[in-house]
């Protein structure tokens, strides 16, 4: 069995919880803890100062990345909860690559 790790994931990437009380909730990746855990936030319930720790097995990873958030986090600049919330709303509206909306 191959274990999935955070290698290849990017800051600012959209993930959806598939386990726990927050099942179905969308988040943005704001950090990594080791090889198997993510720090995620949505800007409302889970703000940047109280980011949620999620096991990589408990999320569905999307290919969508907010490039502004990614650039700021990579450069070590400050990101606000409002920016996270707006980015999350924009990513939820955009269809994923290859996805067709009817």
Residue 100 maps to a domain = no
What domain range includes position 48? Answer: 13-93
What CATH number does the domain containing 66 carry? 2.30.30.140
This prediction has a pTM of 0.87
| 3-state per-residue secondary structure call for the chain | CCCCCCCCCCCCEEEEECCCCCCCCEEEEEEEECCCEEEEECCCCCCHHHCEEEEHHHEEEEEEECHHHHHHHHHCCCCCHHHHHHHHHHHHHCCCCCCCCC
Residue 64 maps to a domain = yes
Asked if 43 and 49 count as a contact pair (C-beta separation under 8 A), the reply is no
pLDDT at residue 95 is higher than 60: yes
Total domain count, the chain: 1
Residue 3 maps to a domain = no
Residue 74 maps to a domain = yes
Residue 51 maps to a domain = yes
Q: Which residue has the tokens 């855990």?
A: 37
Q: What is the mean pLDDT of residues 71-84?
A: 94
pLDDT at residue 100 is higher than 80: no
């Amino acid at each position: 069995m191959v274990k999935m790790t955070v290698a290849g994931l990017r800051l600012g990437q959209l993930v959806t919880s598939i386990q726990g009380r927050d099942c179905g909730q969308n988040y943005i990746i704001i950090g990594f803890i080791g090889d198997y855990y993510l720090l995620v936030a949505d800007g409302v319930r889970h703000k940047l100062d109280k980011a949620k720790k999620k096991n990589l097995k408990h999320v569905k990873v999307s290919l969508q990345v907010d490039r502004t958030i990614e650039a700021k986090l990579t450069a070590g600049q400050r990101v606000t909860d409002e920016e996270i919330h707006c980015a999350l709303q924009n990513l939820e509206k955009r269809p994923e690559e290859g996805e067709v909306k009817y």
